[in-house]
Structure 1
């Protein structure tokens, strides 16, 4: 999968669906995504990209992982500020944990090639 930019950081948001979200019919969930979530994604698309992983089949602590590739820290922070103004942040989804990483930083820091399979 090609990226529109080389991300400075990747953020893994571990989230859990709320009973309120699950109480909506599926069609309503997609309407809410289109009305409130998608405009934020579009607004930040030049600087932040989302990949969405369902994990409820294998985990009880979290149901989804939102993986954000961000051009820089400030772009990620602006995205979070917008998300926090919606019910998707700690109402429809509980934000369980946020893990931020730099891909292959160990190799970059030592001027080495990354180890990949």
Structure 2
């Protein structure tokens, strides 16, 4: 599928840990808080950003969730982080443990190679 994109998307693996304030809420209160206090700010202040969420609390005491953010470019990613920092998400409901940011198959673009990947059947 041809694309006119000149830069690869930016992918951020945001490693977070829930705070006692978040855990003290009921599930319904958490959904309400996220949909009314976080999502509207992201939608108003960003563009070209997608997210996925992974629970890790069953395997890690340091990180309870990994939020994967994909942004169309570095500017979109910067706007996302700026937006999140102005919501209760950042340092109130979640402690941001680490941010791992990269671009998929960057080495392949750098060296004009086909990406190497594993496939299993």
Q: Which TM-score bucket, shorter chain as reference? A: 0.7 to 0.9
CA-based RMSD of the aligned residues comes to 1.7
Q: How many pairs does the alignment contain? A: 113
- Specify the alignment match of 1:92 in structure 2: 93
Segments of structure 1 that go 5 or more residues without pairing to the other structure are none
Q: Distance in 2 between matches of 1:102 and 1:44?
A: 22
Runs of 4+ in structure 1 deviating by more than 3 angstroms, as ranges, are 40-46
Q: Distance in 2 between matches of 1:69 and 1:60?
A: 25
Q: Contact (CA 8 Å) 1:48, 1:76: kept in 2 or not? A: yes
- Specify the alignment match of 2:13 in structure 1: 12
Q: Contact (CA 8 Å) 2:47, 2:76: kept in 1 or not? A: no
Over 3 Å counting, the alpha-carbon distance change for 1:44 and 1:51 in structure 2 is farther
Q: Contact (CA 8 Å) 2:46, 2:80: kept in 1 or not? A: no
Q: Distance in 2 between matches of 1:37 and 1:7?
A: 26
- Specify the alignment match of 1:65 in structure 2: 66
Q: Distance in 1 between matches of 2:105 and 2:45?
A: 24
Secondary structure of the equivalent of 1:57? Answer: coil
TM-score (norm 1): 0.88
Segments of structure 2 that go 5 or more residues without pairing to the other structure are none
Secondary structure of the equivalent of 2:37? Answer: helix
Q: How much has 1:61 moved relative to structure 2? A: 0.6
